[in-house]
Amino acid sequence: MTVPRKKRQKRPHGEATREKLIEATVRILSQEGLDALSTARLAREVGIVQSGFYAHFDSLEACISVAAERIGEKIWASLAEGLEVLGSQGAGDYHLVKAQYHRLLTELQQQWVFVELLIRYFRDPSPLGRALSRVQQGLRNDLVNYLTRFVEPLNWPKGGRPQAGFMADLMVSMTLSAVESLRWEPDLDQELVAHLLALQTLNTGKHLVEWMMINKTPPSHE
């Protein structure tokens, strides 16, 4: 007679161990980089055997994907905080805009490995690429929603969201390029970088609104 196999029971404290693995991955990614990660290293960090890692994640890449999203959420929260400050205290205030750029640059430099992964992999079809793409899209959507508030009164189709999207893409591109420059040029002054980003953002935003006001009847795409 064949004895039916028992279903594998969930290990106690499984969620706590999984969370420790994610936290260890975030810490190692942030401090040492992608090459320092391995299933053996992570298992050792949390006090389990290496095979125990696979009770929580199918692969190292799956764990890295979750960790990348976790880091992205932190940056997402930082961006949202900055946009809230600008929205309540003055989006056109140079000093406020510069201060928020300065804060965001500091955050991104501390998470350089995440930025590097985002630049390299967010279009990749892998689990890591998909995770990074979700983070990038979330950041972009928040920024587009914020910028749309300023062009929506101009009564363009779709509330001016395509134009706000273009502006958001410019801002994201400038910021990521700035972080790369600060990484590779240690003597580059972050105060200068934040100053130039603020000027460029305010100037581009001003010209975008002026152009939309002059061209009050948008070209038809029909």
146 shares its domain with 40: no
d(CA 118, CA 115) in angstroms, rounded, equals 5
CATH number at residue 135: 1.10.357.10
Same domain, 134 and 28: no
The alpha carbon of 72 is separated from its chain's Cα centroid by a whole number of angstroms, namely: 4
What is the total count of domains within the chain? Answer: 2
- State which residues form the domain around 41: 13-57
For CA atoms 70, 144, 110, 82, the dihedral sign is negative
The answer to the question of residue 1 being in a domain is no
CB 72 within 8 A of CB 138: yes
Distance CA 100, CA 77 (A): 13
Q: Is 220 inside any structural domain?
A: no
Residues 78 and 46 in one domain: no
pLDDT value of position 8: 40
53, 63, 110, 121, 213 from 104: Cα distances, Å: 34, 26, 10, 21, 31
- pLDDT at position 4 is 45
pLDDT the model gives residue 3: 38
Q: What is the pLDDT of residues 100-157, one digit of tens each?
A: 899 999 989 988 888 888 888 888 888 888 888 888 888 899 899 989 988 888 888 8
Does residue 162 sit within a domain?
Answer: yes
Dist. CA 94–CA 98, nearest whole Å: 6
* Ranges of residues in the chain whose predicted pLDDT is under 70: 1-13, 217-222
Do residue 71 and residue 178 come from a single domain?
Answer: yes
pLDDT of residue 2: 40
Whether 18 and 123 share a structural domain: no
The whole-number pLDDT of residue 6 equals 40
**Global pTM value:** 0.78
Q: Do 188 and 96 lie in a common domain?
A: yes
**CA pair distance 55, 59, nearest whole angstrom:** 10
Instruction: State the Cα–Cα distance between residues 6 and 61, nearest whole angstrom.
Output: 30
